[in-house]
Structure 1
């Protein structure tokens, strides 16, 4: 058994950074749980199969210690594990969708340029306007993180 942390998730492949410094790629079907980025895992491997399980560890905070989470990376506004979703400010996204949804402003803001161009091409039909209102309502009911951002 070796220990590791999930560092990348794609449609079929889960990339695990092992404690010994190596990287192991496993198929999603080799996991007995729904993977999330930075899950701690145990990897059981023989020459025929690989089984990955989520590690069950007690935190220092539960034992009376201090639990400090620190990262030393630049936030780019884009998460690898979200499979095409973007991080945007909730208020700005909702205003763009509600006020300028017929021109696809919310899609330009969230860097989804294919949808944005389609809205611009078909704004005269009124369909992008309806979609903009619906998207604004859906974004309003999504819970925001402490910074006021949502995934779209």
Structure 2
């Protein structure tokens, strides 16, 4: 194995495998040469090219650290997004307290108070605008019966 012995201005001295010393021009060395670097020498009749030899122990360390041949894939699949529910369910319904909804539907249902409480502002406005016809009061009474028959969850909430 050839090794760089000395680097002087424009001359690089390389110790060869057979114990000899070969001098080459610095421009023929294709890397930043330092004494102690292990090199490969390629020569023909007209030119000499010197390349740095990769250290075998480094290759083994790399292959031990990464058995996939230099490809390192690091997948971090964690979800750190905050996901507040705010009482909404995916099917357009909202979670409300059963007894508050029932009382609002019974006493103020004709004005649409139970709709405002459930977050259905448009329906609440319609109930309020047509309250003089008593139709919203009739619908609110039906919604009161439906809500009182609904089974609440462990917290006393129902879906409306």
Number of aligned residue pairs: give it. 83
- Inter-partner Cα distance in structure 2 for 1:151 and 1:21: 34
- 1:74: how far off? 5.1
> By how many angstroms is 1:76 displaced?
1.9
Q: Please report the TM-score for the alignment, with normalisation by the length of structure 2.
A: 0.48
Which secondary structure does the structure 2 equivalent of 1:143 belong to? coil
Structure 2: gaps spanning 5 or more residues: 1-75
Q: Which residue of structure 1 aligns with residue 111 of structure 2?
A: 103
| Structure-1 residue corresponding to 2:87 | 77
Offset at residue 21 of structure 1 (A): 3.5
CA shift, 1:73, in A, is: 6.6
1:149 aligns with 2:153: no
Q: Which residue in the other structure is 2:100 paired with?
A: 92
Larger RCO of the pair (alpha carbons < 8 Å, separation 6+): 1
Structure-1 separation of matches of 2:152 and 2:83: 22
Structure 1: state its 5+ residue gaps.
Answer: 1-19, 24-71
Q: Which residue of 1 is the match for residue 77 of structure 2?
A: 21
Counterpart secondary structure, 2:144: helix
Q: State the 1:149 CA deviation.
A: 0.1
Which has the higher Rg, Structure 1 or Structure 2? 2
CA distance in 2, matches of 1:145, 1:106: 19
Q: Tell me the alpha carbon deviations over residues 33-63 of structure 1, each in whole angstroms, 9 at most, x when there is no partner.
A: xxxxxxxxxxxxxxxxxxxxxxxxxxxxxxx
Query: Per-residue displacement from partner, 1:73-110 (whole Å, max 9, x unpaired)?
Result: 7552223x2x2100000000000001001000000000
| Cα RMSD for the two superposed structures | 2.3
1:128: how far off?
Answer: 0.5
